[in-house]
Structure 1
């Protein structure tokens, strides 16, 4: 504060008027470069609220500090930095800052997929293998390494490829067990992010392999297989994996005999039309037909007594 004598004297008033005039001139001097720096118009609400901060800068200039020092004082006195900050391009980017990371392209790295188990199941001709190959293509498009495996018992179309009923084909490992597949993969096995298994019902070590791969090896396991045989009984170990699966999709086909009646009815079951009572009978349209519940019950009752599967549960089924 000024002494009372200075305030009441003419010299004191003259000094105050001179200081006010100097401050006003400095406001005008700083206004233009600061507006340009901040990219704000004179009518901006953020600019209108900056008079106090300009006053701090003016006081610094009155002490014969350079304009750069005055601008530094203005930045230090700003209590709302978001209001008068320059555009991001004008800010210095320090290593480790958010802007520095955002401005730099991130390296293209393959992240490991979440470990887990996916199951596609259903009757014959439901599109299980097609769904499996579609999922494989999706995962590969994201950069993951995928190994496709099928049972060596499935030799209908090709021994070294997974083949759908409509002709889609994908090279694969063919093995009697999943342990044998792992041995055949050898040093390449750890590099696989995803293991895709077709005809999963044929693998006797399905449960142990999948649970270990997902829980301890952090792999994603995708399965396609039958949930039941032609007697509508458990087939293999596919159902044993349901409690630990991340996702389960039950697919359906179209009932062959309803189509002959010009109806589109979902087929939930596989009807064996060949006279064979073995559970593991690999075949196609000449051996099995997808049927709805009504046709399954009706046509199963038409089987001859010597064609009926035994009650032990070890016979009948689909491949």
Structure 2
């Protein structure tokens, strides 16, 4: 019961009663965790002493509502040192102006060389292979690696000295008929290239030997983009020969041109030649090839068979 002298008004009396009830609830809430922390049971002879400390803990909890039960008990007089909570480590900026690194943790050093290996981006025409290649090149250059970009000199659709994507991205590069010729053209700079990115990889006749040697014996990272099949869905160059030794292989897809005309979004897996030319090695763009799904490839390729038989089949491979 509260002293009558304190009840000067109904409002103040109600406030005092509410405060007393709040303290009682807080005391009850802290009782169980304190018993567990002190290793005391409700019938222990030492619980009376612990009860006094509980009262001090309640007061500490009221002063710091966010404090834990362990911290509140540690503030009680006579609390054992073992019960005092360990100090909370505060994060410190070891490198002001950069990323946050906690004190005691060494800042990770930037790798001075990427892991040697082979990455391959495959897919039909207009699947975004060159875009994926240039995106990967930008990522590696942002990490500080020296990258050489190479493309076949046969690919002169947009620019003879740059890799140009269908959506307009452009990057200067080495243009060479073979990768050996690229190495000779690079000269002394070749040793400084940590990454070699090759676009239109299917056109290089020495692709397998060059990439396997560069990755296995020269510690270089190879990033390749190329077609995995020609317009007849047959093996294209030496790209597929590198799959057993590749670190990663990503097959990209385009959108079927003819399904899109039907307002459908169907993945395109194959390149259909729409130009009246039966040579297998034919560089071209949207006027020569169309990305198609399996259904449209089967339907439309059947229509081209009489024309291909009339012109004969070539011995090269498609672009």
Q: Deviations over 1:233-278 (max 9, x none)?
A: 0010000000000000110000000000000000000000111111
SS at match of 1:303: helix
Q: Conserved in 2, the CA contact under 8 Å of 1:161 and 1:173?
A: yes
- 1:259 is matched with 260
Alpha-carbon distance between aligned partners in 2 of 1:46 and 1:113, rounded to the nearest angstrom: 54
Unaligned runs of 5+ in 1: 1-39, 51-82, 89-101
Task: Report how many aligned residue pairs link the two structures.
Answer: 236
Cα drift, residue 147 of structure 1:
0.5
CA RMSD of aligned residues (A): 2.9
Q: Secondary structure at the match of 2:286?
A: coil
Aligned partners of 1:48 and 1:297: how far apart in 2? 78
Distance 1:260 1:312, change over 3 A: closer
SS in 1 for 2:198: strand
Q: Distance in 1 between matches of 2:211 and 2:172?
A: 21
Residue aligning to 1:242: 243
**2:128 aligns to what?**
127
- 2:81 is aligned with 1:47: yes
Distance in 1, matches of 2:120 and 2:243, equals 8
Match in the other structure for 1:150: 151
Shift of 1:308: 3.8
Rg bigger for which structure?
1
Task: Give the Cα–Cα distance (whole angstroms) in 2 for the partners of residues 124 and 289 of structure 1.
Answer: 7
List aligned pairs for 1:67-146, cutoff 5 A: 110-146=111-147
The answer (yes or no) to whether the contact 1:152–1:159 under 8 Å persists in 2 is yes
| Runs of 5+ consecutive residues of structure 2 not aligned to the other structure | 1-73, 91-102
Which residue in 2 is equivalent to 1:278?
279
Residues 51-72 of structure 1 show CA distances to partners (whole Å, capped at 9, x for unaligned) of xxxxxxxxxxxxxxxxxxxxxx
When the two structures are superposed, what TM-score results if normalisation uses the length of structure 1? Answer: 0.67
Alpha carbons of 1:47 and 1:206: their partners in 2 closer, same or farther (altered >3 Å)? Answer: same
Q: CA deviation at 1:143?
A: 1.1
Distance in 2 (alpha carbons) for counterparts of 1:315 and 1:169 = 28
> CA separation of 1:44/1:261 partners in 2, compared to 1, >3 Å: closer, same or farther?
farther
C-alpha distance in 2 between matches for 1:136 and 1:272? 30
Q: Is the 8 A contact 2:278 2:312 kept in 1?
A: no
Conservation of the 8 A alpha-carbon contact between 1:231 and 1:316: no
